[in-house]
């Protein structure tokens, strides 16, 4: 074994024994076409001993495997021999980098650092989640088996559901709800997220809620109502309707995930008009602005390329949506919903109603400037808001 590689293995082993290990990263794939892009390693407590947990980062999935120290070192030697040019070890008092090249030459660089905090070691107990897969409705929805184990084919979907609830948890905690919380989920679909929201609000937060899922497909409405009744989930119901024409006079929370094109605008407008305290939308498709954009290509040459014009239309559409929400009294935010490797449509637009004074003239100037710059006459949300 090369001296540099042997030195790195010794440093890893020592840092684990002395509880100085922070993290290890393997990067720079030797095969650029490889599906495996990185490997991240952390230390955990498993079966009463120190183990190393490997996260193999692929294009479309993550794979986690845990190894006892000796086995972990053999895994690292093999990965550095076949798959990666670089390894970076961080300990509480040292940065150590192993660099190699296509000729097989290895170089180890060590740099002392100021005292670095040790991360909390994870244990081998079940991960704490806001959603419990053992609840009966998850089996009826096709997420788990009868024993409450998440099906292999639904692992990512369940991860997405939990991510959604984590985001809502942070938003809802900012709001002081009074009385019954009225929630409308526009475009509920298979209702995974509607059931998750009910579970979070009622079982975890102990709130008094009324949740209505709106879905245009009658077979899904019938199915989700049947599941809700069989699980005795009071105040969770589903109705047949479309986002654009579903009349609702008052609500506290408006949810609309993956509403296509201007249906997102219809949902936002419905929430604003009903005085919702929280609006959460995951937009899908952005045809309206894309079809009306007439940007000055001489000033913005990158927009001559169709794919960049398409992306700019999406950015512009959602930016104006967020600004219009601000204009109507909401603190708006745009964030990532799920990882980009799973879907390009991963933005979440949120708005929390605020009592702060809004400089409407300033917001209007920003919107008008964007429309003028990109040759847009009207954003559809402006139309439905009047």
**Mean pLDDT for the chain overall:** 88
Q: Are 59 and 35 in contact (CB under 8 A)?
A: yes
**CB distance 279 to 185 below 8 Å:** no
How far is residue 92's CA from residue 359's CA, in Å, rounded to a whole number?
49
Q: What is the pLDDT of residues 6-29, one digit of tens each?
A: 999 999 999 999 999 999 999 999
Q: Strand 84-91 to strand 94-100: parallel, antiparallel, or no bridges (unpaired)?
A: antiparallel
Q: Is 21 helix (H, G, I), strand (E, B) or coil?
A: strand
Question: In the chain, what are the domains?
Answer: 3-112 (no CATH), 136-385 (3.40.50.150)
Q: What is the distance between the alpha carbons of residues 252 and 279, in angstroms, rounded to a whole number?
A: 9
Rounded alpha-carbon distances, angstroms, from residue 214 to 227, 352, 362: 15, 22, 35
Residue 373 CA, chain-centre distance (Å), reads 31
In the prediction, which pLDDT does 155 show? 84
Segment 225-279, tens digit of pLDDT: 999 999 999 899 999 998 877 877 789 999 998 778 788 999 999 999 999 999 9
Cα–Cα distance for residue pair 348/281, rounded to 1 Å:
6
Query: What is the pLDDT, as a whole number, of residue 347?
Result: 85
What does pTM read for this prediction? 0.66
Per-residue DSSP letter, 302: G
| CA atoms of 60 and 39, how far apart (whole Å) | 14
């Amino acid at each position: 074994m090369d001296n540099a590689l042997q030195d790195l293995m010794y440093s890893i082993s020592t840092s684990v024994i002395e509880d100085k290990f922070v993290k290890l990263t393997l990067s720079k794939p030797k095969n650029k076409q490889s599906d495996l892009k990185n490997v991240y390693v952390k230390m955990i407590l498993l079966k009463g001993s120190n183990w190393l947990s490997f996260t193999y980062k692929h294009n479309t999935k993550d794979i986690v495997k845990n190894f006892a120290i000796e086995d972990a070192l053999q895994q690292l030697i093999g990965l550095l021999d076949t798959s990666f040019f670089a390894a970076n070890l961080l300990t509480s008092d040292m940065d150590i980098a192993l660099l190699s090249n296509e000729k097989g030459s290895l170089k180890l660089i060590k740099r002392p650092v100021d005292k670095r905090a040790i991360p909390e070691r994870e244990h081998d107990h079940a991960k704490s989640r806001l959603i419990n897969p053992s609840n009966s409705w998850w089996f009826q929805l096709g997420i788990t088996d009868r024993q409450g184990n998440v099906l292999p084919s639904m692992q990512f979907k369940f991860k997405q559901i939990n991510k959604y609830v984590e985001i809502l948890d942070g938003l809802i905690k900012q709001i002081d709800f009074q009385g019954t919380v009225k929630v409308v989920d526009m475009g509920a679909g298979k209702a995974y997220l509607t059931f998750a929201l009910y579970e979070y609000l009622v079982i975890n937060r102990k709130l008094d809620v009324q949740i209505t899922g709106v879905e245009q497909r009658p077979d899904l409405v019938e199915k989700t109502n049947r599941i809700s009744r069989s699980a005795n989930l009071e105040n969770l119901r589903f109705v047949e309707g479309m986002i654009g024409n579903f009349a609702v006079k008052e609500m506290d929370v408006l949810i609309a995930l993956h509403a296509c094109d201007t249906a997102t605008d219809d949902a936002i407008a419905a929430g604003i008009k009903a005085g919702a305290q929280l609006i959460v939308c995951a937009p899908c498709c952005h045809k309206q602005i894309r079809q009306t954009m007439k940007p000055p290509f001489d000033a913005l040459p990158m927009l001559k390329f169709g794919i960049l014009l398409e992306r700019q239309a999406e950015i512009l559409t959602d930016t104006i949506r967020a600004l219009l929400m601000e204009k109507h009294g909401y603190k708006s935010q745009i964030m990532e919903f799920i990882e980009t490797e799973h879907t390009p449509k991963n933005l979440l637009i949120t708005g929390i109603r605020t009592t702060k004074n809004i400089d409407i003239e300033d917001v209007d100037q920003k919107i008008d400037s964007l429309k003028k710059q990109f040759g847009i006459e009207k954003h559809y949300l402006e139309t439905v808001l009047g």
